[in-house]
Amino acid sequence: MSHRLPSDQRQPSDMYPTPYEFCQRIVTTLIENGGDYTEDRPLRFLEPGCGDAPFCRAIKEAMGDRVETTGVETRNVLRRGWVDALYSETDFLTPNKYINRFNIIMTNPPFSLAREFLAASIRMCKPTARIIFLLRLAWLESATRLDRVHRKIFPSMVYVLPDRPKFINNKTDSSAYAFFVYDLSQQSTLNHGCQLSLLTK
């Protein structure tokens, strides 16, 4: 996930691995400010488009056996020790059996498919779940997204990253990034607005 580039300059499949420190930062913040998941033990966590599953690793290291992690990836990738279940060479957007299952879905989705990833995530979440996407702050822009996304579902919280992630070759780009938190239990709308905070180190 990077700033807008010509197609011949983009990474294959929009693959921009998330630096682990940012995964740790958002997981720690969500645990400190999280909801009540006592009805579900263990917590069910999904990372679609997981790559080497940095978000699964971060939450597994933070919560241990209290969380059950699942990763989905279209490429053939190795299963890591912090992923309880890995569906390699599986398309997250293909209809599957995981409807109304997960408490948290967290990912850095391909920006070109972010709307589709969000729609699929909503189908797979429990009614009280949270969906957290790492996206360009420009996700809030555009009349098309306003009609197709924001009028239907709006984030309850946006954590802006004051330091830009270095996705490729240890370099940043010209875009601002944020974690967008969709709390399905709150059903935030444009009229309610959302909270904004800096996700500092």
Residue ranges covered by each domain of the chain: 16-198
Rounded-to-integer distance, Cα 50 and Cα 154, Å: 24
Give the gyration radius of the chain's Cα atoms.
Answer: 16
DSSP letter, residue 155:
-
Please say if the pLDDT value at position 13 is more than 60: no
What pLDDT, on the 0 to 100 scale, is given for residue 37?
55
Rounded-to-integer distance, Cα 9 and Cα 4, Å: 10
pLDDT tens column, 121-172: 999 999 889 999 999 999 999 899 999 999 989 999 999 999 989 887 778 8
Please say if the pLDDT value at position 26 is more than 50: yes
DSSP letter, residue 29:
H
Task: Answer with the residue of higher pLDDT: 190 or 112.
Answer: 112
Phi, psi values for residue 22, rounded to 5°: -75, -30
Reported as a pLDDT band with limits 50, 70 and 90, residue 174 is confident
Reported as a pLDDT band with limits 50, 70 and 90, residue 4 is very low
Q: Say if CB 168 and CB 16 are below 8 A apart.
A: yes
What pLDDT, on the 0 to 100 scale, is given for residue 3?
44
What pLDDT, on the 0 to 100 scale, is given for residue 6?
46
Closest CA to 133 of 30, 6, 13: 30
Reported as a pLDDT band with limits 50, 70 and 90, residue 5 is very low
162 C-beta neighbours (distance < 10 Å), count: 10
Rounded-to-integer distance, Cα 170 and Cα 49, Å: 21
- 177 beta partners: 136
pLDDT tens column, 102-121: 999 999 999 889 999 999 99
Q: For the chain, how long is the longest CA-to-CA vector?
A: 47
Give the CATH architecture of domain 16-198. 3-Layer(aba) Sandwich (3.40)
Lowest mean pLDDT among 27-41, 89-103, 125-139: 27-41
Average of per-residue pLDDT values in the chain: 86
Reported as a pLDDT band with limits 50, 70 and 90, residue 84 is very high
Question: Exposed/middle/buried for 100, CB within 10 Å: 0-12, 13-18, 19+?
Answer: exposed
What pLDDT, on the 0 to 100 scale, is given for residue 115?
95
Rounded-to-integer distance, Cα 118 and Cα 3, Å: 19
